[in-house]
Amino acid sequence: AIRMTQSPSSFSASTGDRVTITCRASQGISSYLAWYQQKPGKAPKLLIYAASTLQSGVPSRFSGSGSGTDFTLTISCLQSEDFATYYCQQYYSYPSFGQGTKVEIK
Amino acid sequence: EVQLVESGGGLVQPGGSLRLSCAASGFTFSSYEMNWVRQAPGKGLEWVSYISSSGSTIYYADSVKGRFTISRDNAKNSLYLQMNSLRAEDTAVYYCARASQEAGYDYWGQGTLVTVSS
């Protein structure tokens, strides 16, 4: 099974900050990586797929990069509605998710 | 509008069974692969099971293999998860999710809570 490790597990940031979340796969997954945003009590929402392709309707302040084993999600200018938990997911083989990164208000 | 609506969750005793359903609308259900994903209270997401568009290919997470059965009825636009021999660690919100071709899970239901407790 491919293990996905996100870092950090949580952090505090302010509106307007540029934030980066890292996801590392235990083996190469090419670009078969997605990022999701989840708010409390809600289903996850797809933000990015194929490591760097923005899902339709997702604001352009979100971006993704990476391939192989190392990936990043960047939010260029954090907005109030972006405070949430973010998950990476590999779909190269049997799907697996990272443990999540909670972005909290500083 | 794409909609996925889960139902069938509830409280069940350890060792019991439950069948979850996911009603799909707003898209050609028979053209899409589907998945079940769960989330234990306060925990992260865990993929549970996958079924191809025709139902001919099925995969399970090791944690549920031999106990859970995924199925679909394309004529009824419905996805199912039969859960047997339930354990306390199966307690979670269960989501059905549509898989977009090599593009992650683009639509999710609102989830249904399964609680396994005596």
Which tens digit of pLDDT belongs to each residue from A43-86?
A: 999 999 999 999 999 999 999 999 999 999 999 999 999 999 99
* Average pLDDT of the residues of chain B: 97
Chain A: nearest CA to B30, how far in angstroms? Answer: 21
Dist. CA A24–CA B50, nearest whole Å: 23
Q: Which stretches of chain B drop beneath a pLDDT of 70?
A: none
pLDDT value of residue A53: 97
Dist. CA A44–CA A38, nearest whole Å: 4
Assess B104–A contact: CB distance below 8 Å, yes or no: yes
Q: Taking chain A, what is the end-to-end CA distance rounded to the nearest angstrom? A: 36
For every residue of A9-30, which 3-state class applies, written as one string? Answer: CEEEECCCCCEEEEEEECCCCC
* Average pLDDT of the residues of chain A: 97
3-state secondary structure of A47: strand
* Integer CA distances (angstroms), A103 to A51, B38, B88, in order: 20, 21, 30
Chain B: nearest CA to A34, how far in angstroms? Answer: 6
Assess B96–A contact: CB distance below 8 Å, yes or no: no
Assess B109–A contact: CB distance below 8 Å, yes or no: yes
Q: Is the pLDDT of residue A19 over 90?
A: yes
pLDDT value of residue B34: 98
Q: Taking chain B, what is the end-to-end CA distance rounded to the nearest angstrom? A: 40
pLDDT value of residue B101: 81
